[in-house]
Structure 1
Amino acid sequence: MKQYLKHHEWHIIEEGLDPHYNKISESVFSIGNGRMGQRANFEEEYSGETLRGSYVAGVYYPDKTRVGWWKNGYPEYFAKVLNAPNWIGIHITIDNQKLDLAKCKVEDFRRVLDMKTGLLSRSFAATLPDGKKVKVESKRFCSMANGEVGAIRYAITPLNFTAKTTLSLYVDADVVNKDSNYDEKFWEEVNKEATEGRAIVTAQTKKTFFHVTTGMQYVITNDGKKATFDRVNIELREKYAGNVIQLDLQEGKELVVYKYAAVLSSENHAKDALVTACAKVLTEAVAKGFDALFEDHARVWAHKWDGCDITIEGDIAAQQGIRFNIFQLTQTYTGEDERLNIGPKGFTGEKYGGSTYWDTEAYCLPFFLGTAEEKVARNLLVYRYKHLERAIENAGKLGFKDGAALYPMVTMNGEECHNEWEITFEEIHRNGAIAFAIFDYIRYTGDDAYLAEFGLEVLLGISRFWSQRITWSSDRNRFVMLGVTGPNEYENNVNNNWYTNTIATWTLQYTLDALNLVGKSNPSRLAEIIAKTNFKETTETHRWREIIAKMHYPHDEKRGVYLQQDGFLDKELLRVSDLGKDDRPINQKWSWDRILRSCFIKQADVLQGIFLFEERYDIETIRRNFDFYEPMTVHESSLSPCVHVILASKLGYKERAYEFYLRTSRLDLDDYNNDTEDGCHITSMAGTWMSIVKGFGGMTVKDGTLHFNPFTPDQWKSYSFRLEFRGRVIKVKISTDAVETELETGEPLEIFLHGKPVLLKK
């Protein structure tokens, strides 16, 4: 853990520049707006350790899959989230000395992310090698009001000199990804242009031919008045356009650069109209000015926070943690474009590639169900429906047929683009998460029509896959599922993973139920779906029922626990507390062979299943499984701690629940797993929201009704959250001695509090 960031209810604060932590801070202080995002790189040149990152939603590169040997079914490519053209650069040279914080004496360094308004600020004093000292203050945001606009206010004050200075303001598309093979670059120039005060570069991605047009325009003031320049040179080179400005910096007088950026892609504009549209966006941004643009941006954030904020009284670290998670989720996905989804790193880094994992359905959907209007969560499901044909193609490549659908582990456009065999082809539980998300959405919203419109077709494809993937064991006289990897990726190619078997048979039963529901509510639509999918109802559903009735689930009768998979008890059953400090994290200290042979769990498959289907299990069954698996769990998956918060809360393990909450909420802020420098764990952040609402708040939905069984951690005085639910907005405030519920909008609503009905009305 690294605890160098200051605790504050609304701000993330770094005081002092530690080069060893800079890449972590670049991730943590990232900003975005759903359309684009930017790591917290410095505007000026920096020769120290840095990961340059600017990202545009939906833009990717299909890098050729590289494996030691090729096997049938391998994806053709691995989708890379691309480092996009750099628009933030403001390079400064004073008397032929570059302002480079890796080569200067830096004092009073302070970086602040104001989460309430989405503003990134930075200030410092730097002494150049010849003794000249300059103060810099910068502010930056990606507009939530206009997803194509970014703006910077960069102020420079010479403290002990007057000197000739050169400013270089530019757009640079000559960028490289950290994980590119042999430093390969993925952008080609389409055109570039620059005039005094403005520069625009259009670049296209290789292979996929996305066009991104990035423009910048600036206004400079000196001591509060429009600045005059000795000279402005136009600088054009490959994939680069900018202005080089020569002027005088005068001691004690502040020079301010307002740099406006427009980032447009061919996902939203015709390619031949991009440059014109970019120029228009720039002109409008400059005319509006930095302050007015920021006011519009802050107003959107205020509206967002009204709907999704969680307040905690008495624990600043916990408060900061939940708001940081909500902030990053909200600026990553707005729900306004159903073509987009929630990448595991959002706009904070490029690791993992792809824009969609099972994380969206298993973790993110509940957050958007509770905090946004219904269409946002619906769009996440429609995204998968529109990729159904690709999911059928993905299954076909592996030998499945007759409409069986295997949704990809990682995707940009519905095609599988992940190239690790044990994850791509064995971690098939993702199919079940998508099916469960349909159920969860309908259970929460009451939107039963979704089944007939979109959901049933997806369920049929997924159930056909399970039916073909499961095999009959004459030895066991049971159905089995061989060669899989569960959510716990520290066990590969296992037989009868309990979680995968459980969610597979649950999906088959839910699909049977869905067929019945649609048949009653919309028989003509059911007939249409049956014809479209060539569904053999009698024969296919007969097999599904057989599988449901005769599936094998590993279980230890002696301990009364479900087993991760067949043979789990052959492992030496150690506890995480038996590990030495030098062993952690094991994914960075141990060989893969040693990890696979150990009992240690990245995230507990069994507990994941109990969390999803907790109504099936009595409290003592949950307790036995939790007490057995948690001591062996290293929580090196970002998705693990939140599930443990929820189950520990249910079991009355209040202190353990609080410990897990701090881990999930401050995973990136404190760099628990020593990997934040690659980007924040965006999708797991939704689990932090669930930790409070479903964990401490005890929120569940039963028969279309909200139930709460809350408690207050001993470290807190109170906490509160809002929920959107079926056209209502309710507020819940929980303190050590009371629970207050309020209906803020909508018709009267009956809820259950500690098992007793409460009628909410305005």
Structure 2
Amino acid sequence: MKQYLKLDEWSIIEEGFDPENHEVSESVFSIGNGHMGQRANFEEDYTGKTLQGSYMAGVYYPDKTRVGWWKNGYPEYFAKVLNSTNWIGLKIEIDGENLDLHNVNVKEFVRELNMKEGYLERTFIATLKEGKEVKINTKRFVSIVDKEVGTIRYSVTPLNFNGELKVTSYLDGDVINQDANYDEKFWDHVATEVTNDYGSVTVKTKKTEFVLCSTKKTELVHNGTKVSFAPELIEKEKFVGHAFAQNLEQGKETVIYKYASNVTSRDHDASQLIKVGMESLQAALNKGFEKMEEEQRQAWADKWKESDIVIEGDVAAQQGIRFNIFQLNQTYTGEDDRLNIGPKGFTGEKYGGSTYWDTEAYCLPFYLSTADPKIARNLLVYRYKHLEKAIENAEKLGFSDGAALYPMVTMNGEESHNEWEITFEEIHRNGAIAYAIYNYVNYTDDKSYLGEYGLDVLVGISRFWAQRVNYVAAKDQYMMLGVTGPNEYENNVNNNWYTNRIAAWTLEYTLSVMDYLKETDANRYEALQKKLNIKGDETSKWVEIIEKMYYPFDEELGVFLQQDGFLDKELIHVKDLDEKHLPLNQNWSWDRILRSCFIKQADVLQGMYFLNDEFDMETKKKNFDFYEPMTVHESSLSPCVHSILACELGYKDKAYEMYLRTARLDLDNYNNDTEDGCHTTSMAGTWMSVVQGFGGLKVRNNQLILNPFIPGEWKSFSFKIVFRGALLNINVTDETIQITNEADVTTPLIVHGTKYEVKGNDTLSIQY
């Protein structure tokens, strides 16, 4: 862990430039708007270590799989969100010297990500040859109002000299992905166009044939006056540029404004992209930087109005939660049901930018509680639209009759992950998708979803589980062999408790949905029964599996066993390990990890988080006390689940420790891997830690339940939730719980076991 960022409630601030931190900062200071995103690369040239990254949502390439030993069922490609046309580029030359922070002396460097208003700003003084000092200030954002536009204000002020500034403003589509399996470039040239005023680059992905058109215009203001210039035009394959010069005067500011639009064939007819891009760009130019900046400020104010969490008395915790909420709002807007949430969002290439089970398990609750229900619904519709692909994925592995196995990693519904222990064995992902349907309906009461989309998915997943189990006659039980549970530090185990339980639970829930539809919408159920070919002998088999599912359990310890044979391991607590061994995944061989008792993330405890009401407090306590001390939390998804359960068990210190770890995972680079991109999906887990953990939020039997407590390090905290038409602001102090309903809907709720009602536009105060 290396904490080098300044603590601030509303901003991420880096003071002083250290090249060793630069790639981490490029991730942390990323900006996005759901349509596109940009790592915090410098606009000017930088020859030091950097990961160039500009990303377009939904634009991907099927990079050919690279494995040493091919196995039947492997996908032929790994889908990757692509590094796209570099639209921020400005080559800055002063008296013939290229401005490059790798080669000049830098002082008074400050980089700030202003989360309240949604922009990235950087200021520094560079000392050039012959002692010339120049002050640079640059501000940029991608608009959440005009989603296809990004804009930059780049200012140059000579401090102790007069000289000449030469600027080359460019678009560069000749980019690569650092994670390309065969060092292949993924973009083909389509067209370039450059005039005195505008430039455009159009490129197309190989194989998938997504077309991206980037257009730009550059304006120049010197000492407050707009300057006309006749640029040198530069045009080559995948590249256009405008080069122009301006005299610099000591103490006077020269400002370069760059506007760029990025439009794709996902949203527009490919033949019309240049026209659409120019129209989008011209609309931005008509507004100008200042108006766009004001619109950005207001749009972010609206977002914070719904999703902010306020923590008083702990700046580190406050900064951490706002950073996580900010990145989530930058990554996914819910407007496009073809899109989902990548584990790195728009901040890096790792994991290919594809969709994992993280969305259903960790991200859905955030969008359920902070946005219109249709946004969370679209996350479920995304999986519904991929049901046929999930059935095809299962067929490739030998399943039949409509059994569906959702992919571990995907862009279009096809599996694109090729590590056998995950692709073939980490099948618990199916359960998270089924649970997400339950979670959505339970929270929103939108039962119409079940007949419209939900049952189709549930039946496909249930058929997979029914075929995946095997009956052991000697024990008269059903078992699940050769799986990997959520704890990826165990591979190819038998009877992972969580996988067995989530499989049986899915069958239970699917049968209950069938019963509900039979009672409430018999015609719809009959149509679905015919469409899905649901038969009585099939559902009878599901009932038998539910009744006879095997769950490993130790009577003496009173705990569910993570899998068969877990107690054969040497049981050691993490606290008893020499710190030189941590993190294990960077210091131990895989063989040693697999033979150890150490747990990467919540496994048994994941089941107790999901199916919380099934277990009494004593059972939760015994399992938490047994498994958490052996958990190294080397998955970014681990601390949040442990924090929530620790809150429920009254382990306040552990809850706070786990919260702070998840909240500042990237800001403090806990796992020494933030340079690859931020852990976007675990950021939703941070929100869960506050709202479901410290806030104690649950929905049970259509009742909103709150069991809040305040960590000793905080003076107060507050959060907002959208619940069935109400917008509730919950403020917790040492003495009171104050709930303000900012909508017209009267809302019943239970707080610490007592029933209350908060009327529309009213406030309820409860004394501890």
TM norm structure 2:
0.98
Distance, in Å, in 1 between the alignment partners of 2:214 and 2:491 is 44
CA contact (8 A) 1:197 1:219 kept: no
CA shift for structure 1 position 354: 4.3
Partner residue, 2:357: 358
- Distance in 2 between residues matched to 1:182 and 1:375, nearest whole Å: 40
1:656 deviates by: 0.8
How much has 1:182 moved relative to structure 2?
A: 4.1
- Matched with 2:726 is 728
1:13 maps to a residue whose letter is I
Does structure 1 retain, via aligned residues, the 8 Å contact 2:6–2:14? yes
Q: Please name the residue that 2:682 is paired with.
A: 684
Tell me, yes or no, if the aligned pair for 1:36 and 1:55 is still in contact at 8 Å. Answer: yes
Deviations 1:122-146 (A, max 9, x none): 0000011332211000000000001
The alpha-carbon deviation at position 165 of structure 1 amounts to: 2.4
Other-structure match for 2:28: 28
Assess if the C-alpha contact under 8 Å between 2:204 and 2:212 holds in 1. Answer: yes
Q: Secondary structure at the match of 1:116?
A: coil
The alpha-carbon deviation at position 271 of structure 1 amounts to 0.3
Write the distance in 2 (CA, Å) between the matches of 1:365 and 1:349. Answer: 22
* Counterpart for residue 591 of structure 1: 589
CA distance in 2, matches of 1:720, 1:258: 39
Paired residue for 1:579? 577
Deviation at 1:283, TM superposition (A): 1.3
Are residues 1:745 and 2:731 paired? no
Q: 2:138: which partner in 1? A: 138
SS at match of 1:729: strand
Query: What does residue range 539-558 of structure 1 map to in structure 2 within 5 Å?
Result: 539-558=537-556
Tell me which residue corresponds to 1:338: 337
Counterparts of 1:400-411 in structure 2, within 5 Å, are 400-411=399-410
For residues 522-533 of structure 1, what are the structure 2 equivalents within 5 Å?
A: 522-533=521-532
Find the counterpart in structure 2 of residue 490 from structure 1.
Answer: 489
Task: Please give the alpha-carbon distance, in whole angstroms, between the structure 1 residues aligned to 2:285 and 2:452.
Answer: 45
**1:226 Cα deviation (Å)?**
1.6
In the alignment, the residues of structure 1 paired with residue 455 and residue 717 of structure 2 have an alpha-carbon distance, to the nearest angstrom, of 39
Question: What is the match of residue 10 of structure 2?
Answer: 10
8 Å CA contact retained: 1:601, 1:634: yes
SS, match of residue 366 in structure 2: helix
Q: Write out per-residue CA displacement over residues 353-373 of structure 1, whole angstroms, 9 at most, x where no aligned residue.
A: 143110110111011000001
Where does residue 646 of structure 1 map in the other structure? Answer: 644
Once the two structures are superposed, the pairs formed by residues 368-517 of structure 1 within 5 Å of their partners are 368-517=367-516
Matches within 5 A, 1:53-202: 53-202=53-202
1:325 touches 1:688 (CA, 8 Å); kept in 2? yes
Contact 2:73 2:396 in 1 (8 A): yes
Partner-residue secondary structure (3-state), 2:466: helix
- Write the distance in 2 (CA, Å) between the matches of 1:4 and 1:380: 36
| Equivalence map 1:563-712=2 (5 Å) | 563-712=561-710
SS in structure 2 of the partner of residue 559 of structure 1: coil
Residue aligning to 1:51:
51
TM superposition shift of 1:477: 2.4
Tell me if the contact between 1:189 and 1:204 (Cα under 8 Å) persists in the aligned partners: yes
- Does structure 2 conserve the Cα–Cα contact (< 8 Å) formed by 1:198 and 1:242? no
2:80–2:354: 8 Å Cα contact kept in structure 1?
Answer: no
Query: What CA deviation, in whole Å up to 9, does each residue of 1:262-315 have, x standing for no partner?
Result: 000000010000001111111111111001011112211111110000001111
Among the aligned pairs, what percent are the same residue?
61
Tell me which moved more, 129-138 or 27-36.
129-138
CA distance in 1, matches of 2:197, 2:252: 22
User: Could you tell which deviates more after superposition, 525-534 or 187-196?
Assistant: 525-534
Shift of 1:183: 2.5
Q: Cα distance, 1:184 vs. partner? A: 1.5
Can you list the C-alpha shifts for 1:192-226, whole angstroms capped at 9, x where unaligned?
Answer: 01112321000000110000001111110011112
| Counterpart amino acid of residue 646 in structure 1 | I
- Per-residue deviation, 1:96: 2.1
Task: State whether residues 65 and 181 of structure 2, in contact with CA within 8 Å, keep that contact through their aligned partners in structure 1.
Answer: no
Shift of 1:228: 4.8
Q: CA deviation at 1:9?
A: 0.6
Is contact 2:31–2:330 with CA below 8 Å preserved after alignment? yes
Deviation (angstroms), 1:746:
2.9
Code of the residue aligned with 1:214 in structure 2: it is S
Instruction: Supply the distance in 2 between the matched residues of 1:118 and 1:219 (Cα, whole angstroms).
Output: 22
Q: State how far apart, in whole Å, the 1-side matches of 2:161 and 2:720 are.
A: 54
Q: CA deviation at 1:532?
A: 1.3
Larger mean Cα displacement after TM superposition, 244-253 or 360-369: 244-253
Cα pair 1:354 1:410 within 8 Å, conserved: no
**Shift, 1:181, TM fit:** 3.0
Taking the aligned partners of 1:119 and 1:736, their CA distance within structure 2 comes to: 35
Q: Find the residue that maps to 1:151 and give its secondary structure.
A: strand
* Separation of aligned partners in 2, 1:118 and 1:156: 23
For the residue of structure 2 that corresponds to 1:293, the secondary structure is helix
Misfit runs of 4+, over 2 Å: 474-477
The reply to whether residue 260 of structure 1 matches residue 251 of structure 2 is no
* One-letter identity of the residue aligned with 1:553: Y
List per-residue Cα deviations over 1:134-184 (Å, max 9, x = no partner). Answer: 100000000000110100000000112222221110000000101113431
User: How many angstroms apart in 2 are the aligned matches of 1:130 and 1:238?
Assistant: 37
Offset at residue 251 of structure 1 (A): 1.7
Contact residue 66 and residue 181 of structure 2 kept, 8 A: no
Gapped regions of structure 2 (runs ≥ 5): 761-768
What one-letter code is carried by the residue in structure 2 that aligns with 1:658? Y
* Whole-angstrom CA distance in 1 between matches of 2:748 and 2:684: 26
The equivalent of 2:763 in structure 1 is: none
Superposed CA offset, 1:429-466 (max 9, x none):
11000000000101000111110010001000000000
Per-residue Cα deviation, 1:558-590 (whole angstroms, up to 9, x for no partner) = 110111101111111011112222211111111
Task: Judge conservation of contact 1:601–1:632 (CA < 8 Å) in 2.
Answer: yes
Change (3 A) 1:135 1:172: same
- Report if the CA contact (8 A) 2:64-2:181 is conserved: no
Q: CA deviation at 1:70?
A: 1.6
Question: How many angstroms apart in 2 are the aligned matches of 1:290 and 1:620?
Answer: 59
The offset of 1:474, in angstroms, is 2.3
* 1:550 maps to amino acid: K
Tell me, what secondary structure is at the counterpart of 2:178?
coil
Q: Secondary structure at the match of 2:190?
A: strand
Cα distance between partner residues in 1 of 2:517 and 2:76: 38
Number of aligned residues: 760
**Contact 2:493 2:564 (8 Å CA) reproduced:** yes
Give the match's secondary structure for 1:134.
strand
Question: TM-score if structure 1 supplies the norm length?
Answer: 0.99
User: In structure 2, what is the Cα distance between the partners aligned to 1:250 and 1:33?
Assistant: 37
| Distance in 2 between residues matched to 1:527 and 1:398, nearest whole Å | 31
Q: Does 1:241 align with 2:240?
A: yes
Structure 2 CA distance for aligned equivalents of residues 238 and 436 of structure 1:
49
1:406 is aligned with what amino acid? L
On the 8 A contact 1:354/1:417 being kept in 2, the answer is no
Q: Secondary structure at the match of 2:129?
A: coil
